[in-house]
């Protein structure tokens, strides 16, 4: 009888201990912050929080009021695939061997633990909808594109009328032949009478809302990747109606051409064949229409961001959710007569970045140079985990606690045209310095205190030789790490 009583007592103690353990685990999980990771595609800093009041982005203004806005954030390569691979691994393009749209994420580092994978393995629900890794747009919409399956618990790929009815998209220049159009790089737009949820990005927002509501009782890492404002610029007509074509301005082409006179040939080697606006035959008026369409696409994405923020508030999740909004790189809209990305200029390298953390700064701006690779360690840090030494970025916690704190001195952006054409650019709070093929194919130096549009290249001015030597030495640390994935064919 005593043995039975003892066994019963031990079972009760074990049961109580198990219940307590489960309660502790549940409490710890409840304290772990959720993460809403929002991306836009090809979005530059032409948005209202960054001072461009013409572009209507009230929900990004709303996010700015509850977060820290980074005014000098830079991508590591101004091209979708490499930039996104770098951000999602926390490593620079040279480290992971990602230079082109076709480079495989795990080619050089097959066992790399990506950002979403880290949280999945830490017990989070890790879900993606839309474009986080590279996708051809609109070619790969509705598929997994170049996505990484190991990153996610679940992934979703909606396709709206911007994909299903792409034959209705209007295209300019010598890229207009039906059935042979390359809409993924185009001067093209469409403004159908439609509802938001008929479009891919409206569907992305809707699925992200479903994911948030389905997993609100557990820690989640939910990534919502919007395809806009990547070309072709497609959005419901009501967003186009926000803008007046007569108020869309383009840089005078004579001034635009003059701005390129002191720039090394390699800097625009992909852009000058059909200058201006990349395609033969595009008029200034057509470029204005595309710029308007780009702005309309931004406003469309902004509305979807508002729906996501509403969902967090309606489900009482805002207080314990980290919200990050980022773009993969900047974008030219006719400045210097150029269009698109893939250039080591400020307009191509700089990105909008907002980071909201629980009990963190609200409505605060930071001017320190930061990099997209800083996001991975930041999210790991704020979630209470140890930061891997393999990560090449730095947690933004220091700046989120004090935007004027002593921080790393610069950000690095690189461009890759081919194995024989490389560029590396360093940006500190005052200067941008760029070397093409380690200076053999040209150098550029711009003073951002009085030349924010990078009009005057000071690299040949002997007054700045000591500065150039110093910045060049710092760049060499990064350029020396380049190893091509394959050697050039002879």
Known catalytic residues?
Answer: 80, 134
Q: What is the 3-state secondary structure (H, E, C) of 172-215?
A: CCCCCCCCCCCCCCCCEEECCCCCHHHCHHHHHHHHHHHHHHHC
Give residues with Cβ within 8 angstroms of 241, minimum separation 6.
Answer: none
φ, ψ for residue 411, nearest 5 deg: -120, 150
Taken as a whole, the chain contains a residue count of 490
Question: How far apart are alpha carbons 418 and 83 in whole angstroms?
Answer: 16
Q: How far is CA 95 from CA 231, 249, 326, 348, 434, in A?
A: 29, 40, 22, 22, 20
81 token code pair: 């695939």
Question: How far apart are alpha carbons 162 and 230 in whole angstroms?
Answer: 12
First to last CA, the chain: 89
Q: How far is CA 47 from CA 183, 351, 353, in A?
A: 24, 11, 11
Q: What is the DSSP string of 290-319?
A: HHHHHHHHHHHHHHHHHHHHHHHHHTT-GG
Residue with tokens 């140079």: 369
DSSP 392: -
């Amino acid at each position: 009888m005593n043995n039975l009583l003892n066994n019963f007592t031990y079972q009760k103690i074990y049961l109580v201990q198990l219940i307590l353990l489960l309660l502790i685990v549940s409490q710890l999980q409840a304290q772990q912050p959720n993460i809403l990771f929002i991306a836009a595609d090809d979005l530059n800093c032409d948005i209202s929080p960054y001072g461009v009041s013409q572009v209507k982005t009230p929900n990004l203004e709303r996010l700015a009021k509850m977060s820290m806005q980074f005014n000098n954030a830079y991508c590591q390569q101004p091209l979708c695939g490499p930039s996104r691979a770098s951000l999602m691994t926390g490593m620079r393009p040279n480290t992971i061997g990602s230079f082109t749209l076709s480079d495989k994420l795990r080619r050089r580092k097959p066992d790399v633990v990506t950002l979403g994978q880290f949280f999945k393995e830490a017990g989070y629900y890790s879900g993606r909808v839309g474009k986080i890794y590279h996708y051809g747009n609109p070619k790969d919409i509705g598929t997994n594109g170049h996505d990484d399956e190991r990153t996610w618990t679940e992934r979703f790929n909606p396709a709206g009328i911007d994909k299903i009815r792409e034959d209705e998209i209007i295209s300019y220049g010598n890229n207009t032949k039906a059935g042979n159009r390359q809409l993924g790089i185009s001067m093209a737009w469409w403004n159908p009478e439609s509802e938001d949820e008929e479009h891919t990005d409206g569907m992305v927002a809707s699925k992200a809302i479903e994911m948030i509501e389905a997993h609100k009782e557990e820690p989640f890492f939910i990534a919502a990747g919007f395809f806009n404002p990547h070309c072709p610029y497609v959005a419901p007509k009501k967003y186009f109606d926000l803008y007046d074509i007569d108020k869309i301005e383009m840089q005078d082409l004579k001034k635009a051409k003059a701005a390129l006179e002191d720039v090394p040939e390699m800097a625009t080697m992909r852009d000058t064949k059909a200058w201006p606006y990349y395609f033969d035959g595009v008029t200034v008026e057509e470029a204005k229409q595309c710029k308007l369409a780009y702005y309309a696409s931004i406003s469309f994405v902004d509305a979807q961001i508002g729906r996501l923020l509403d969902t967090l508030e309606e489900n009482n999740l805002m207080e314990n959710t980290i919200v990050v909004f980022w773009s993969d790189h900047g974008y030219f809209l006719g400045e210097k007569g150029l269009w698109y990305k893939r250039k080591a200029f400020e307009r191509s390298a700089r990105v909008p970045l907002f980071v909201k953390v629980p009990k963190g700064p609200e409505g605060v701006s930071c001017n320190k140079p930061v990099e997209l690779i800083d996001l991975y360690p930041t999210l790991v840090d704020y979630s209470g985990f140890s930061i891997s030494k393999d990560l090449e970025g730095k947690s933004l916690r220091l700046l989120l606690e004090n935007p004027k704190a002593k921080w790393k001195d610069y950000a690095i952006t690189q461009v890759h045209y081919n194995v024989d054409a490389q560029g590396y650019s360093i940006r500190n709070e005052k200067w941008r310095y760029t070397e093409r093929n380690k200076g053999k194919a040209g150098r550029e130096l711009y003073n951002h205190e009085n030349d924010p549009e990078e009009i005057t290249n000071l690299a040949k001015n002997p007054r700045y030789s000591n500065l150039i030597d110093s910045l060049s030495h710092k760049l060499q640390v990064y350029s020396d790490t380049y190893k091509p994935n394959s050697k050039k064919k002879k």
